[in-house]
């Protein structure tokens, strides 16, 4: 327990440093609009990236709301509140999309991994509801999306990209992956996360915050921190 408290204390300090530039921003820039990159991951493997503009006040309010949210369901509603994701979208539809995408990628629900011992806290889980937040980091996509963006610049045609694996890393990250029988939480610094078969949304504020909210067939995380695993049955889909 003391170890967990220590990590949470360090996390609070890091978050304060990360957001200090926004918190002390010039009041005269309050009307300035900032670009927030939103990526929609669809069940057919395609992705659509769009830009949502938020004011400085909205960014600060969003940051406070998302950090105070208790679970993924509440974060999903917050994303809808700020028009970052469709208001009529349900978590159930994302789950079904993930299962379809996993099937197309030949990721089976009975897949197992051999246990291994590593010095760094590491997590690996399957078919989970995922809630990932990274601060002060970068991200990358493995698939056809970068190539499609290059083609679009040449021929001015909007071609959909397909992502196989999404990777992000940063100074500090929280990965919350909840399945039917277990929940894995990784709280770490200098960490990395990788998602395969992800269906949901990615919210990126450049160099500041990167959020994944949805369902993932395979979730991997590693970093310097604490890995908490809870065992117990719980329905991952909220009641309507």
Predicted local distance difference test score (pLDDT) of residue 139: 80
Q: Flag whether 166 is in a domain.
A: yes
- Which segments of the chain have a pLDDT < 50? 1-3, 5, 13, 17, 20-28, 113-118, 147-148, 151, 157, 159, 233-240
Q: Which residue has the tokens 């950090």?
A: 67
Q: Domain residues for 109?
A: 2-25+32-231
Quick one: tokens of 236? 């991952």
Predicted local distance difference test score (pLDDT) of residue 137: 74
Residue 141: how many CB atoms within 10 A of its CB? 19
Residue 224: how many CB atoms within 10 A of its CB? 13
Query: How many structural domains is the chain composed of?
Result: 1
Q: Flag whether 208 is in a domain.
A: yes
Q: Flag whether 179 is in a domain.
A: yes
Q: Flag whether 239 is in a domain.
A: no
Q: Flag whether 185 is in a domain.
A: yes
Q: Flag whether 238 is in a domain.
A: no
- Euclidean distance between CA atoms 155 and 221, whole angstroms: 38
Predicted local distance difference test score (pLDDT) of residue 232: 60
Predicted local distance difference test score (pLDDT) of residue 129: 93
Q: Flag whether 240 is in a domain.
A: no
Reference 71, options 143, 176, 188, 184; nearest CA is 176
Predicted local distance difference test score (pLDDT) of residue 167: 87
Q: Flag whether 78 is in a domain.
A: yes
Angle at 180 between CA 178 and CA 186, to 5 degrees: 20
């Amino acid at each position: 327990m003391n170890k967990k408290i220590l990590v949470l204390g360090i996390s609070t300090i890091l978050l304060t440093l990360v957001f200090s530039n926004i918190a002390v921003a010039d009041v005269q820039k309050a009307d300035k609009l900032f670009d927030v990159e939103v990526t929609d991951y669809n069940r057919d493997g395609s992705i659509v990236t769009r830009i949502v503009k938020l004011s400085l006040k909205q960014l600060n309010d969003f940051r406070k709301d998302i950090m105070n949210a208790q679970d993924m369901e509440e974060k999903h509603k917050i994303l809808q509140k700020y028009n970052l994701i469709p208001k009529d979208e349900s978590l159930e539809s994302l789950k079904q999309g993930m299962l379809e995408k996993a099937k197309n990628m030949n990721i089976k629900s009975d897949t197992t991994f051999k246990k291994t011992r590593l010095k760094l806290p590491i997590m690996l889980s399957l078919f989970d509801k995922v809630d990932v937040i990274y601060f002060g980091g970068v991200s990358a996509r493995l698939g056809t999306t970068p190539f499609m963006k290059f083609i679009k610049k040449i021929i001015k045609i909007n071609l959909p990209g397909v992502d196989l694996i999404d990777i992000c890393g940063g100074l500090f990250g929280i990965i919350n992956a909840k399945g039917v029988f277990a929940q894995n939480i990784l709280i770490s610094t200098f960490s990395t996360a990788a998602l395969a078969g992800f269906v949901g949304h990615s919210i990126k504020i450049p160099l500041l915050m990167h959020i994944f909210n949805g369902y993932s067939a395979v979730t991997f995380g590693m970093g310097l921190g604490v890995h908490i695993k809870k065992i117990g049955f719980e329905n991952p889909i909220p009641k309507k």
